[in-house]
Every structure is written in C-alpha cells, then in structure tokens.
C-alpha cells in the first residue's frame, strides 16, 4: 500500500526532501509518495495542516523552517517527544505513535551519522561549534552521545551559548561543554572538528575567518550547495565537508522511523547522485 509523507515548510517549493525519500523508497522497494506541503506562517494553520495530514491517513511528516519550534510545542502540549526533540527544543519529524502525535529530531543524529560515515571519529575528540541557534542546539546531545570529550560553543551573543551550556551540562559524562565569544579575534585554539552552524552564510554575512587563529583537521558546514566563507577558509589546511550528507542522514532516520525500513541497505552514493541530478 502507498505510504504518504510530506514536508511542511514556508517556503517549501525547492525542498529536496521528496527526491531523497523517493530515492530511498526506490532502492528499498517501498511505495512512498512524499510531497511538499506549504503552510501559512502561523500556529493555527500549522496545527490544521498537521491534523488534516494525519487524519487523511498520512504516515509521516517532516517539518522545516519556520515550524520546527511550533511542531515542538504542539507535541509538547498534545503528544510526545523523543529525548532528542526535547533537548533540541525543536521537531523535524512527526509520526503517530500509540494514537498520539510523536515528535522527533533527526538533524543532530544526521550530522553525527554523516561524520562517522565519512570516517571522522568523534569519540574522545574536541569539537568547536560556531553559532548557538537551533541548529547547534539540535547537534549537542548527539555529539555528547557519540562520546566527544568537549564541545566549545562559539557565538556572537555569548549569553545564548552559555544558555546551551546550562541546558546540556546535565547530559555530560566527564565531558565539557563551554561557551566562547565568536569574533575573529577571539576565535582561537585547535579542535579535532569545527562545525559551522551559524546562519551567516545564508544571509551573505561574513565572520572574518582570515583574521582568526583557530585550526582543525576537519571543517564541516551544516549548509550545503554553497562555497561559504567558512569552507573557503578551512579548505586551505583541513578536510572540508558541506551539509549534504547531514541532509541525507537526517532524512534516512525519519525514513527508518516511519517505515521501519532497514536503512543500512541504502546506497548513499546513489542518493547523492539523485540529489545532484535534480
């Protein structure tokens, strides 16, 4: 039987998620119809869209900008949340579990899965993450669970980084999470992996990495499809990756939750090809 899924967002017309999910389904021999669902940017509309989708027999919904926090609040008040969604304060994956709305967040686990797939070990490593918004918040618990030794959160607004330190310190086991200021002058130190989770690239702003004294082996930008200032800078002395793999892996984890599929059988290279061809 056809299994219906959607991604809800605003804007949504250019979402690549249908391409990714249809390629997983093709490879695993499942009948999946994955559509893009526009939604006006208000809470009532979002609730109505989610309600109509699941009442209409939908199996799973992804949630993207600007609704991840709205979806979190909806699950918090009327359904259930995974630990990842609860600590992230955001939901990117909705399903019905035991008759109730269930919210998960696969973004951070997608990042970790992509790094591990690329052969980047995280166990015992020191990580720097730039930015302290939703993207960073979603990544911290999965990184801690991957066994990192420390996470330095660099942010322009130091108080937001400190807030994340306060939220996640209870989840550490002999690990350190600390806040640092993000200005080119204060960006110093050596880290095994540096992750860019700021939105500076999307808005065309610059951080000024050329004046920074921060070094790494691996630089990972959560954005994809764009040669950001971050990637250009670190490509001179580190291995760099954009966020395409994270996008694929977060989708893979949603797919597994909804369809109970054996995602280890998915050929990721073919998924990348499908993405690049569309």
Of 68, 118, 125, 226, which one is the catalytic site residue? 68
Site mask for ligand ATR (CB under 6 A), range 204-243, x = bound: -x-x------------------------------------
Phi, psi of 137 (to 5 degrees): -60, -35
User: Which one of the spans 33-41, 96-104, 114-122, 133-141 is the region binding ligand ATR (CB under 6 A)?
Assistant: 133-141
Query: Checking DSSP bridges between strand 100-104 and strand 32-38, what pairing results, if any?
Result: unpaired
> By 3-state DSSP, what share of the chain in percent is helix, strand and coil, each rounded to 5?
45, 25, 30
Site mask for ligand ATR (CB under 6 A), range 170-209, x = bound: ------------x--------------xxxx--x-x-x--
SS3 (DSSP) at 197: coil
SS3 (DSSP) at 95: strand
Q: How far is the CB of 259 from ligand ATR (least distance, A)?
A: 27
Does the bond joining 66 to the residue before it have cis omega, within 30 degrees of 0? yes
Nearest to ligand ATR of 53, 70 (CB atom): 70
Alpha helices for the chain (secondary structure H): 17-28, 43-55, 68-78, 83-88, 107-117, 134-145, 158-168, 200-203, 229-234, 244-259, 268-277
Q: What CA–CA distance (Å, rounded) separates 193 from 216? A: 6
Q: Is 68 a catalytic residue?
A: yes
Q: Tokens 């050329």 map to which residue? A: 210
Q: Which residue is nearest to ligand ATR (CB)?
A: 133
User: Which one of the spans 11-19, 50-58, 73-81, 129-137 is the region binding ligand ATR (CB under 6 A)?
Assistant: 129-137
Under rule CB under 6 A, residue 49 binds ligand ATR: no
Site mask for ligand ATR (CB under 6 A), range 136-175, x = bound: -------------------xxx--x---------------
Q: What CA–CA distance (Å, rounded) separates 277 from 19? A: 10
**Residues at the contact surface with ligand ATR, assessed by CB under 6 A:** 131-135, 155-157, 160, 182, 197-200, 203, 205, 207
Q: List residues with catalytic annotation.
A: 68
């Amino acid at each position: 039987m056809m299994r219906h899924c959607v991604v809800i967002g605003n804007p949504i017309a250019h979402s690549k998620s249908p391409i990714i999910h249809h390629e997983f389904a093709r490879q695993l021999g499942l009948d999946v119809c994955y559509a893009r669902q526009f939604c006006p940017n208000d809470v009532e509309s979002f609730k109505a869209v989610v309600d109509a989708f699941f009442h209409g027999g939908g199996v799973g919904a992804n949630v993207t900008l600007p609704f991840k926090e709205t979806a979190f609040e909806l699950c918090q008040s009327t359904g259930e949340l995974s630990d990842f969604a609860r600590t992230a304060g955001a939901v990117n994956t909705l399903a019905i579990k035991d008759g109730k709305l269930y919210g998960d967040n696969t973004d951070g686990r997608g990042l970790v899965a992509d790094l591990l797939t690329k052969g980047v070990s995280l166990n015992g490593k020191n990580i720097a993450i730039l930015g302290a918004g939703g993207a960073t918040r979603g990544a911290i618990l999965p990184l801690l669970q991957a066994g990192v030794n420390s996470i330095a959160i660099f942010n322009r607004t130091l108080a937001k980084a400190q807030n994340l330190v306060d939220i996640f310190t209870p989840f550490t086991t002999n690990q350190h999470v600390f806040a640092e200021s993000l200005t080119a002058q204060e960006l110093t130190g050596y880290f095994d992996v540096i992750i860019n989770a700021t939105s500076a690239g999307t808005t065309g702003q610059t951080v000024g990495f050329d004046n920074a004294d921060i070094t790494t082996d691996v630089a990972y930008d959560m954005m994809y499809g764009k040669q950001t200032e971050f990637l250009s800078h670190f490509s001179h002395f580190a291995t760099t990756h954009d966020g395409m793999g994270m996008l694929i892996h977060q989708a893979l984890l949603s797919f597994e939750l909804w369809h109970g599929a054996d995602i280890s059988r998915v050929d990721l290279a073919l998924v990348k090809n499908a993405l690049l061809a569309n």
